[in-house]
Structure 1
Amino acid sequence: MASLNLKSHLQFQRDQAVNVADTKDFVYAPPQQAIAAKRILVKPNLGYPNKAPVTVSIKVLAKVLQGLRAASPDAEILIVEGVCSALSLREICDRQGVGNLLDEGMQVLDADTLPCKEYQNLQPNPVRFKTMLAPTLLEEVDCRITVGAFKRTILKDEPLISASLKNLYGLFPRSHYKARSPNSRGQLHRPSVSLILQDVYFCIGHLFDGAVVDGDRKLESLDWKPDKGKSVELGKVFWGNDPISVDRKACELGGEKIPSYLEAIDNLRQKLN
């Protein structure tokens, strides 16, 4: 499998540009790890039974899968998601038409059913979690791609941007991280999502070789609910090797202030490099 050396991996990511295209012209060029890969993991935002922009649009996801298949015709492509709904992943995928995108070498896996391991937090001073439990599969593939929707919610009177990094919340088992609701991962909201996202990046986010943000439409919520709000047309797709850089570019061109967690992660990455 691909090397997971943090320093070289971060340096590779930071040296790469972010691509931006009009949605109608989007053709996905995957990272070099996808070329001739044997196994590729794709983590799309499909956690709700709602269409884009609550979740990733099927058209954008289709382009990502097409790009990966072109880069690696024989790869096993695993589409992995853990939902935030009372509905099952199978029910949500059926509603969204995900099955129509799959060829014989692609399959959908429910993250909540996969074997897990503890991933070490590589921050010198973790926010809350010294380790985080996530699928072992992350270390059993050659390439990992996160495909996020572009959303702004309000938590504790502060805006929260959800894009390719926040999308990784769906990989953490609800049975382990649930709080009051069994359908969510409430433990990952304490002390705040913005702070916990730093732990997320340095536990599993740094493993990802590519990121895509579906900015065809942006969801602007008036409260904390990431499945309700106003749909704002942007007509763009953002992609590259580094989730932090891709999310930053989406915010810059999508009219959003750069989130504090992106700045904090970038600052620490510079120190680690």
Structure 2
Amino acid sequence: MPLSPAIASVQTAPTAEFIYPPPTSLQGARRIVVKPNLGYPVGPPVTVSMAVLGRVLEGLRRHNPQAEILIVEGVCSKVSFDAIMAKNGVHALLDEGMRLLDADQLDCVEYPNRSPNPVRFKTLWAPKLLQEVDGCISVSAFKRTQLKGEALISASLKNLYGLFPRAKYKARSPNSRGQLHRPSVPLVLQDVYGTLGHFFHGGVVDCTQKFVSRDWQPDRGDGIPIGQVIWGDNLLAVDKTASAMAGEETPSYVTALDPNLD
């Protein structure tokens, strides 16, 4: 279970100095899921850098030398999972105890929304694997897009969208998860946190560059240098700190889920 925001710990470091210490709750774990933000055939800042992802994997391996580490992603492109992973260079980071898995190919189960007031989804389907491991880590890029005139921040919580099966949550495009954009992404993120948040022991946000889209497209825009990595044991606290470091307001989903988060 993630720590409560009252005792959540968030750390920051310049990208070049980033060394990842896993949450104490995962030190000694036997099976760990790492969910990287690698859904597009485009490098950073659209996706997480291999330098930051590599440091996370090194930190997990250093504290968990015998663990099976499962890197799980579901892509958001007509380009195949295998082609995207090869283009982004993930395979070079893997040791013998690490496996790369396509979320869209995994068996899924229906997870209940633990929130007393679901926004739209009382349940959400996601890989069964999440309940078969000792814990999960989200490793994301930091992005700002525009949807319906509102700025949308994509960080460690939005990164979990890649776990949901496109076959079930697609809308007009079979390559994305359009149903999870209604009535809005910030509102649906509250349901995402209620269903999957408790599986995640921590998050890492690669804020080496802040990606800024000129519209809604999360893979076309500009990179603004920030030069920081933010990590911690609570996704909401990590996203709030990352937003502040990137010069953005606290995301509305953070305020809605925990207005008292310090």
TM-score bracket for this pair, using the shorter chain length: over 0.9
- d(CA) in 1 for partners of 2:198, 2:240: 16
Specify which of 211, 232, 239 is matched with residue 247 of structure 1. 239
**Residue 269 of structure 1, CA deviation:** 8.9
Establish whether residue 210 from structure 1 lines up as the match of residue 202 from structure 2: yes
Q: TM-score, normalised by structure 2?
A: 0.97
Q: Give the one of 184, 188, 192 matched to 1:196.
A: 188
Q: Which residue of 86, 89, 95 corresponds with 2:87?
A: 95
Match of 1:179 in 2: 171
Name the residue aligned to 1:141.
Answer: 133
**Counterpart of 2:191 in structure 1: which amino acid?**
D
Q: Are the structure 2 counterparts of residues 261 and 126 from structure 1 closer, same or farther at C-alpha, using a change threshold of 3 Å? A: same
Residue aligning to 1:257: 249
| Kept after mapping to 2: 8 A contact 1:10/1:206 | no
Displacement of 1:16 in angstroms is 2.5
Distance of 2:226 and 2:260 partners within structure 1: 31
Q: Name the counterpart of 1:30.
A: 22
Cα drift, residue 10 of structure 1: 4.3
* CA contact 1:218–1:233 (8 Å) conserved in 2: yes
Whole-Å separation in 2 of the counterparts to 1:39 and 1:14: 27
Native 8 Å contact 1:10 1:269 kept in 2 = no
1:167 aligned to which of 144, 159, 162: 159
Q: Contact 2:6–2:261 at 8 Å: present in 1 too? A: no
Q: After the TM superposition, which segments of 4 or more aligned residues of structure 1 sit over 3 Å from their partners?
A: 267-270
Determine the structure 1 residue equivalent to 2:109: 117
> 2:75 is aligned with what amino acid?
V
Secondary structure of 1:209 counterpart: strand
CA distance in 2, matches of 1:110, 1:33: 26
Check if 1:82 corresponds to 2:74: yes
Is structure 2 residue 223 aligned with structure 1 residue 231? yes
Q: Is the 8 A contact 1:14 1:242 kept in 2?
A: no
Query: 1:87 Cα deviation (Å)?
Result: 1.2
Q: 1:123 and 1:85 mapped to 2: Cα distance? A: 31
State the number of aligned residues: 262
2:214 pairs with 1:222: yes
For 2:49, which of 47, 52, 57 is the aligned residue? 57
For 2:6 and 2:218, the matched residues in 1 are separated by 29
Preserved contact between residue 237 and residue 261 of structure 2 (Cα < 8 Å): no
Q: TM-score, normalised by structure 1?
A: 0.93
Residue 147 (structure 1) shift? 0.4
Partner of 2:120: 128
Aligned-pair distance for 1:97?
1.0
1:267 CA displacement:
3.7
Task: Give SS of 2:258's match.
Answer: helix
Question: What's 2:61 paired with?
Answer: 69
**Deviation per residue, 1:81-105 (Å, 9 max, x gap):** 0000011111111111110000000
Consecutive unaligned residues of structure 2, counting only runs of 5 or more, are none
2:160 is aligned with what amino acid? L
The counterpart of 1:154, out of the listed 131, 134, 146, is: 146
Quick one: distance in 2 between partners of 1:246 and 1:125? 23
Cα distance in 1 for partners of 2:228, 2:201 equals 21
In 2, distance between residues paired with 1:219 and 1:254? 10
Q: Any stretches of 5+ residues in structure 1 without a counterpart?
A: none
